[in-house]
Structure 1
Amino acid sequence: NDLSNLKCFSLTCFTLTNAYDNRLIPLLRRMTYLEKLTLYIRLVDRSTFVDGTHLHNEILMHMSQLHRFNFYISTQIPIDDSVHHLSDDNMQQTFNNIGYYQTSCIIDYYCSSNAICHVFSLPFIFNRLEMITNRIPSLIFPHVTYLQVVDTIQFNYSFFIRVSRAFTLLKYFTIINIMSPLWNFEEYEADYIQSNSIIIFPHLISLNMNILDKYYIEQFLLDTKTHVPHLTELKLSYRNLKNVTENFTRNATRNNCANIKRISFCDKRDYPNELYIYFPSLEIVSFSII
């Protein structure tokens, strides 16, 4: 098909892909008279990050009529001690050099063997973000309804405050953290600590905390810490939920559990009657290893 007369093209791919260099770039180069381009892509199996210089040389310079480019591109690459660590400013400069000043860049070396770079145009027009770490930029993401955060560093109270302010329409929240917080949960009497204000997630309907320390479950279910008036779905460990709710008797977690309709557990298939009594709106209980 002749793509040279195409004026507008949009591609959104939420799944990770390795088809960028050998399939997408050749396709885009055929759109020589494109005027508007929108890309949301998450890349793997590359040795380098996609930066402004790359986008200019491989795509933009071949589109002389392009006047609007909305994009989100994340690149995950393997790293070792020989890899030079770029900074956010290094990456931002590659966009400034080609005249794209309304962009933001986040580079995270979130473990010893992997790094991820997020580059995106501003304002952020997309509704989904994944693999975001503690380093959330001081921006507002007004359209994001799905957020996945992941880190080897603990997420603390101030982090969740920043999330609630940056993602004002957040509906689906997945938290992945393989390290426990600094404080000892068993010694943390969160019911009685009033020094921090209550965090509000007014639109949150689904919370995925399947592989977390039980601290995070307490952070979201205790009504003295978080207010989630529309929360209807939980994905988590049965053992942790049982502990946090004190065997489904704890009054301080009842309010945030009152509207839960669906629970997916990752570690148990048989559930006591107390579970259904404690969650009065519960309709579906399931088991999932994911």
Structure 2
Amino acid sequence: MLCPGLSLCDLPSPTFYSSNLTQLCIMVETFDDCLYLLDGRLKQLTIFNVTVYSIDSSSTIVHNTDMLPNLNCFSLKSYFQFQQYEQIPLLLRRMPYLKHLTLYLCIKDRNRIIDGTCVQNDILVHIPQLHSLTFYVSSYIDIRDLSHDLSREHIQQTLINIGQQNAATTVNYLSMYTAECSIFSLPFAFDYLPCLGNIFPNIVFNYVTYLLVEDNDGFKHEFFVRIARSFPLLKYLRIFNIEPQVLADMKLSSDHSQSYSMIEYPHLTSLDMSHGHQDYLEQFLNETKAYVPCLTELKALYPRLKIVTNNFTREETRRNCAKVKQLIFFEQLDNVQDYYHYFPLL
């Protein structure tokens, strides 16, 4: 059962105390807030689920580092990239009797990825009574610092070596110098996936509602077919890719014109194209390629939207724009009247 989150960012941490609280689900501003809650003021805590907004903003305050013998279920989620990975193993070593652990971490600026070997040496060896591990750990690294190529197969083997057979690995090249590697338990238990590229495992992400796709290479139409199949509950989609769409998989119709299979995204409500090539705007707004019946929010660059809709007159893109209630541009517009007739619900 999910508990409502509570942010402590505006509350003095010392005011929070309980001698009988056993379960807590909370959202906090910094990792310091998390450590404050585990400094002895909640000694009876057995279940602690915490979402931390910013781990890197933690201070140099020295916190109580006593063991937490009563804690048997711990969940730590942080959706923003951070550098101070070393704080996580230090905290977990205070939980020797932990039985259930959930981690969602996005780590940047390290010279090595977090793989199964790191998970074993940094975490599992210190929690011998652990029964279940649910995780998503993403590493963003500068590949110029690597002495070897990233191998998805090798990373996958490190997970198998520590008994995590029900886990998957993705390796995604975001630029000439940056790569992202993710390891995660299966089935995927989270609703947020912040980075997915052209190559990803053939599985269904049943709980994901928010997805960001990003790659150094252009996306094919078939990529979006796979996205629709693999993310049946997708509501929020962001596309970061300045490369044009790859056209190699296009078919020829009987009159030799190029045609696509139409893709349906039945739950998609928000589409962010502000960092995507206009080909992907065409991919989603053209009704011969996609059907987005619930799309109510669209973020795009005005010149690209104007081109794709043929100056807001094109019939093929009219239906997928009909229910948009919020249209967000990232540039100052001189004349904002020309698109209102095309988006009647604005």
Normalization by structure 2: what TM-score? 0.76
Residue 226 of structure 1, CA deviation: 0.3
Q: Of residues 106, 110, 118 in structure 1, which corresponds to 2:182? A: 118
The question of whether the paired residues in 1 share the 8 Å contact of 2:236 and 2:269 is answered with: yes
Residues 114 and 83 (structure 1 numbering): CA distance in 2 closer, same or farther, change over 3 Å? farther
* 82, 89, 94: which one aligns with 1:30: 94
Residue 260 (structure 2) pairs with residue 196 (structure 1) = yes
CA distance in 2 between counterparts of 1:33 and 1:182 reads 51
Query: Residue by residue, what CA displacement relative to the aligned partner does 1:144-196 show, whole Å, maximum 9, x if unpaired?
Result: 0010011121111000000000111100000011222356xxxxxxxx95742
Return the offset for 1:81: 7.6
Q: Secondary structure of the residue that 1:260 maps to in structure 2? A: coil
- Could you tell which deviates more after superposition, 168-177 or 210-219? 210-219
**Equivalent of 1:18 in 59, 68, 83:** 83
Write the distance in 2 (CA, Å) between the matches of 1:47 and 1:194.
45
Aligned partner of 1:159 in structure 2 is: 223
Give the whole-Å Cα distance in 2 for the aligned partners of 1:228 and 1:156. 18
Partner of 1:189: none
| Whole-angstrom CA distance in 2 between matches of 1:79 and 1:26 | 27
In the alignment, the residues of structure 2 paired with residue 76 and residue 11 of structure 1 have an alpha-carbon distance, to the nearest angstrom, of 19
Query: For residues 246 and 160 of structure 2, what CA distance do their matches in structure 1 show?
Result: 39
Q: Paired residue for 2:336?
A: 272
Tell me the equivalent position of 2:269: 205
Partner residue, 2:105:
41
Structure 2: how far apart are the matches of 1:232 and 1:198?
20
User: Is the CA contact 1:194–1:224 (under 8 Å) kept in the aligned structure 2?
Assistant: no
Q: Distance in 2 between matches of 1:276 and 1:121?
A: 46
Which residue in 2 is equivalent to 1:108?
172
Partner of 2:210: 146
Q: Could you tell me which amino acid in structure 2 is paired with residue 92 of structure 1?
A: Q
Task: Quote the Cα distance in structure 1 between the aligned partners of 2:325 and 2:273.
Answer: 16
- The alignment partner of 1:84 has SS state of coil
Match of 1:186 in 2: none
Q: Counterparts of 1:126 and 1:111 in 2: how far apart (Å)?
A: 26
- Give the match's secondary structure for 1:39: strand
Q: Given that residues 131 and 150 in structure 1 are in contact (C-alpha distance below 8 angstroms), is that contact kept between their aligned partners in structure 2? A: yes
Structure 1 position 127 matched with structure 2 position 195: no
- 1:16–1:42 CA contact under 8 A, matched in 2: yes
Indicate if the aligned counterparts of 2:172 and 2:215 stay in contact, CA closer than 8 A: no
Post-superposition Cα deviations, 1:205-243, rounded to whole Å, max 9, x if no partner, equal 000011322211111111111000000001101111111
* Higher RCO (CA < 8 A, seq sep 6+): 1
Q: TM-score, normalised by structure 1?
A: 0.90
Does the 8 Å CA contact 1:56/1:98 hold for their aligned counterparts? yes
- Within the candidate set 89, 96, 101, 2:160 is matched to 96
What value does the CA root-mean-square deviation take over the aligned residues?
Answer: 1.9
Select 1:217's aligned residue among 267, 272, 281: 281
Provide closer, same or farther for how the CA distance between residues 31 and 85 of structure 1 changes in structure 2, counting only shifts above 3 A.
Answer: same
TM-superposed CA distance for 1:4, in Å, is 2.2
Per-residue CA deviation, residues 24-82 of structure 1 (Å, 9 max, x unaligned), is: 11100000000100000000121111111111111111112110100000011112285
Query: 3-state DSSP class of the match of 2:75?
Result: strand
Identity %: 45
Give the helix-richer structure, 1 or 2: 1
Q: Which residue of 74, 77, 95 maps to 1:9?
A: 74
Partner amino acid for 2:235? K
**Structure 2: 5+ residue runs without aligned partners?**
1-39, 41-66, 248-255
**Equivalents in 2 of 1:253, 1:108: separation in Å?**
31
Q: 1:249 aligns with which of 313, 322, 346?
A: 313
Which amino acid letter does the alignment assign opposite residue 214 of structure 1? Q
CA apart distance, 1:263: 0.8
The answer on whether the counterparts of 1:239 and 1:267 sit within 8 Å (CA) in structure 2 is no
- The alpha carbon displacement at 1:83 in A equals 2.3
Change (3 A) 1:93 1:3: same
8 A Cα contact 1:14 1:41, kept in partner: yes
Aligned partners of 2:240 and 2:273 also within 8 Å:
yes
